[in-house]
Structure 1
Amino acid sequence: MPGGTLAESVRRFYDAIARRSPRLAFVNYGFVDLPDQPPANPNLFSLCRRLYETVLEPFPVATGLVVEVGCGRGAGAELLLDDRPDLRYVGLDLSSEHLVLTRKRLAPRPFTSVIMADAGRLPLTTGVVDLLYSIEAAQHFEEPGRFYQEASRLLCPGGWCLLAGLWHSTQLP
C-alpha cells in the first residue's frame, strides 16, 4: 500500500475528515429498507441512526460489557447508551481525531472508555465481552481473519458479535 499499511492509510483518512468536518455525527452510509417505502425526506443522520438501530436491535441485554470496533465519532454509542444506560462501553478506533470527538460526546456518561486500537489486536481481556459490534468499519480491517479470531477470544459464553459492512459476497467469511 503506498505510504504505509492499510491501517495507517485508514487512520490518516479519518483523521483528516475529523479535522475538516468535526460536527458530523456519523461517517457511515446509513440504511434504508428498500422493499418498504423510502423515507420522504431522508437525511444522513436519520439513515445512520436507522443503520445502528437495525444492527443492534437483536441484542437483548441491557447490562454488561459492549465493545464497538471502529467507534468513529461516538454517535452510534450514544444511541445505544440512550436506550441501555447500564451498559459498560468501550469504543475502539484507529483515528486519534475520532477518539477525541467520541470522548467529548460520551464524557457525561459513566462506564465508558475509548481506546486507540487495531481490529486485529484488541487490547481487552479474554471472555468478558457481552456484545462486540462493528458498523461499516470491517471493510477497512487489515486482517479480517485476525479480527474474527480476536472477536471470538473476547466474547463471553453466550456473547454476541454483530457486524454491518460493505463487502462483496466473495469477501464474506
Structure 2
Amino acid sequence: MTSKQPDLVLLARVLTESGIDYALIGGLALQVHQAEPRTTLDIDVAVSSREAIPREALAAAGFAATGSFPYTENWQGPGGTPVQFSDDAAFADAIRRAASIDVANARLRVITVADLVRAKLRSATEPARRASKRLRDLADIQELLEEHPEIAQDLSADERAALHALLPGKSSMPPSAPARRPPASSSP
C-alpha cells in the first residue's frame, strides 16, 4: 500500500472534510482484510451518488478527472495513483456499514468483510465480467472465508447457498449458518 499511500491518505482527508459517505472497496479493501498481501494498482471507492463526489476539492488537492463511464468516474491522484469512484446502488448498505481504520494519521472507511464477500459474489456471477476476473473473485471469497469464518452468520441464506454452489467440496462456506441456540436456563 505504500506507493499509493500518499494519494490514499490525501483522498481520505478530502472525502472526510467534504462530509462524503464512502467506502474503500476492491483490492485495497482486500489488503485491509486479508493476511496475504494483495497487489492492486488503483483505489476503488464506493459513493452514494456521483453528485456527492467533491470534484472541486479533489482538483484543489491535485487530483485530476480522467474519464466518466456508466457506473464509474475515474480520477488520478497527484502521485499518479488511479482512483475509481463507483455509484453502484448495490454498495448503498455497504457504505453505511463501512468500518473506520486509521492509516498514517488519516481515517479511512473500508467495506466490511461480509460486504466485501457480497461484492465479490456479485462480481463472480456477472456473466459480462472476464472469466479470469471471476475466478480471482472466487479465490478472494475463499480466502476471506478461510480467514474470517465467522462472517457466514452475516450472510443471507441465499448468499450462503450461492457461495456453496460456487465453492463446492472443501469450501469454508457451510451450506447454511449454524443455528444459534438460546443460552441454557438455570431453572429446572
Question: Normalising to structure 1: TM-score of the pair?
Answer: 0.30
Greater RCO (CA < 8 Å, at least 6 residues apart):
1
More helix per residue: 1 or 2?
Answer: 2
